[in-house]
Amino acid sequence: MASSADDTSTRTRTAHAPTDPRLLRAFVVVAEELHFTRAATRLYIAQQALSRDIRRLERELGAELFVRTTRQVALTPDGERLLPYARRVLDAHADLAAAFADPAARPLFVDLNTDGMAAARVLARARELAPECELMARFESGLTWAADEILAGRLDVSFGRAAGLDPAVRARLATQPVRYEPMAVLLPGDHPLAARETVALDDLAGETVYAGAGNPRTKEWTDFARLLFAERGIELAPPAPLAIGVAEFQRVMAKSRQPVLAVVDFPPVPGTVVRPLVRPVPLSPLLLVWRKGLRHPGLDALREAAARLGSEEGWLVRPADTWLPGPDEALMLSG
């Protein structure tokens, strides 16, 4: 036979165990009706089952919640104390269920990297397609960083070069090809190549070009540049201070005087020019990236928007005389 000390220890341990919301709901209904038969009717259960649930809750909490007589039911002081807490717990459970019953009830967080480019156009079209959804833009640099944020649940969707991600990370992500983006070079306005309408890749031989080296958020982009430069004698610029915002980017670029690898839609920076790269045209493989298993009408709208824009503007038609690594081409064709 257990000792009273054992009983006390058991009650203490049980009182700290998670309480089944079903038991709290039974308690609240009885507290409101102060009548077991009426409460059982409201809950669509047998009175015996209701009484059993209340006794179980009392055992778990180690407290008597109701005074029962043949003529009436009344709350004890512990019952009075529990009632507001029980109602708050049940409200929280109801809010949780509502939020996940309707995925559109929460915002979808979409990382664009930089505003004004293809990803931003996809987002704008998706907002037109699903005006009832809240698609919240985030501007973070680099898919390497964004992919980790997606898997951690702090972001939902991003865009970029998915073939450059760690294979273990990419295996947990879903992708959809968006665009073969022609690449360009961002040049200081007084650079010798700035006067040209286009810049041949061979004309950059011997130049030192910045492509995010040293930035842990953009490893996929730096690796891509390394593949491109290695074949043509172009030097990869060493790490530079991470510049956040146009003003800081402009200041760092003006100080280094180095060309920057970009895409043709890269937004203008004061004091610079964007020149498309040619012979061959290097392509940046832009993909939509999200966590496998994610369900949200905003994601459906983004996928539809990317498909429509791609069809209207030929984004997924690969031009002749272009350059793209094999793994990137395979991933672009897999969608």
pLDDT digits (tens, 9 = 90+) for 72-85: 999 999 999 999 99
Q: Is the pLDDT of residue 56 over 50?
A: yes
Q: What angle do CA 328, 329, 332 make, to 5 degrees?
A: 85
Per residue, the 3-state secondary structure of 85-146, as one string, reads: HHHHHHHHHHHHHHHHHCHHHCCEEEECCCCCCHHHHHHHHHHHHCCCCCEEEECCCCHHHH
Give me the domains of the chain, ranges plus CATH numbers: 6-101 (1.10.10.10), 105-334 (3.40.190.290)
Q: Between residues 212 and 247, which one has the greater pLDDT?
A: 212
H or E element, residue 250: helix 246-256
List Cα–Cα distances, 44 to 35, 72, 181, 264, in angstroms. Answer: 14, 21, 61, 65
pTM: 0.71
H or E element, residue 158: strand 157-160
Q: What is the pLDDT of residue 167?
A: 93
Q: Between residues 335 and 277, which one has the greater pLDDT?
A: 277
% residues pLDDT > 70 (the chain): 90
DSSP letter for 242, please.
Answer: P
Q: What is the pLDDT of residue 3?
A: 44
- Count Cα neighbours of 230 within 13 Å in the Cβ-side half-sphere: 7
Q: What is the pLDDT of residue 15?
A: 43
Q: Is the pLDDT of residue 6 over 60?
A: no
Give the residue from 63, 53, 76 showing the smallest Cα distance to 11.
63
Q: What token pair was written down for 57?
A: 């809750």
Q: What is the pLDDT of residue 91?
A: 85
Phi, psi of 155 (to 5 degrees): -130, 160
Q: What is the pLDDT of residue 7?
A: 45
Q: Is the pLDDT of residue 99 over 50?
A: yes
Give the residue from 254, 239, 224 showing the smallest Cα distance to 327.
224
Determine contact, residues 277/207, Cβ cutoff 8 Å.
no
